[in-house]
Amino acid sequence: MSCLYHYTSQIGLLGILSTKSIWCTNALFLNDPTEFKHAIQHGKQMANRLFEDDYDERFGWLLRHELELTTADDLYVSSFSERPDLLSQWRGYCAGGNGYCLGFDRQALEDYCAANGMRLEKCLYNHDDQLGAVAEIIAAALREFPAMPMSRAEFEGFESKEKVDVMVKYWAHLEEAGAHQAKSIISTACEMLIELAPRFKHEGFHEEAEWRIITNEPTRQILYRPGPSYVVPYISLDILEHNKHALCEVIVGPNPNQDRAQKAAEIVLRAAGYDASIVRSSCVPFNYW
């Protein structure tokens, strides 16, 4: 069985078991709210280069214009890691002997996402991989975009005045007969870039090997919880209601009372209908109390 791991606190563990759900947080309220902006910025830079090319100028301009209007107000994500019992995660999310690492069956997560119009995606840490993913979306859109009435080679063979005449007629076509197709393709490309955006992480965090459940404009109710200094919007993903056995492992983080902490977790899990054998203690020799 292949698992993905979700690090949480005592309150988080009890909440997940009692509601049979995990939180999926609005992307604007993540620990690093600038993460999702990188894909959009890469898209703008590529649009700028296309705008500087007479042949693809109109596509570049329309893409850049649409990206300027693009927001991620309705983008929600939930985070997991390929790595269980990871020191950096205990430090970051489960301070003071107050942490648990919950292992979820990857196939069960994928099934849940497929049934609810969501995606389970692996984060990209390498800069070249990030650029490549953005370029692939833009290249696909450009291939589908209403084409100039001649090849690039033919266009490049024209004098400047002839080029202008061709471009004026082409732009008129895009504003009339080809308007719907052009707008649809540009809009789709921007939506794909928005949904790609939460997969981008700084290379310095590659150790986390993070995966994310991603959903854009969810149909379920938006809920709110108190944050460090502001209210945080989120939605609830009833993963354990969908499949109780999606939860397949619980690791008790480093704790000043490790035996008691594990025994308590076993009692809590049994009360929730799980076999206590899925509980084990962290192997990390870390003392921070």
Please state the domain count of the chain: 1
Whether the CA torsion 101, 107, 113, 115 is positive or negative: it is negative
Residue 186 lies in a domain: yes
Q: Give ∠ CA 247-83-132 in degrees, rounded to 5.
A: 110
- CB under 8 Å, gap of 24 or more: what pairs does 60-66 form? 62/174, 62/182, 62/186, 63/138, 63/141, 63/186, 63/189, 63/190, 66/186, 66/187, 66/189, 66/190
pLDDT in tens, 200-234: 988 888 888 999 999 988 889 999 999 888 999 99
pLDDT value at position 181? Answer: 93
Give the structural domain span for 9: 3-281
Dmax (CA) of the chain: 82
Distance, in Å, from the CA atom of 236 to the CA atom of 150, rounded to the nearest integer, reads 51
pLDDT band for position 30 (cuts 50, 70, 90): confident
Residue 288 lies in a domain: no
Residue 7 lies in a domain: yes
Number of H helices, E strands in the chain: 11, 10
pLDDT value at position 32? Answer: 66
pLDDT value at position 76? Answer: 94
pLDDT in tens, 263-276: 999 999 999 999 99
- Relative to beta strand 279-281, strand 247-252 is parallel
Q: Full-prediction pTM beyond 0.75? A: yes
| Percent of the chain at pLDDT exceeding 70 | 96
Residue 197 lies in a domain: yes
Element (H, E) at 69: none
Residue 286 lies in a domain: no
pLDDT value at position 1? Answer: 64
Pick the range with the lowest mean pLDDT from 3-17, 92-106, 108-122. Answer: 92-106
pLDDT value at position 288? Answer: 64
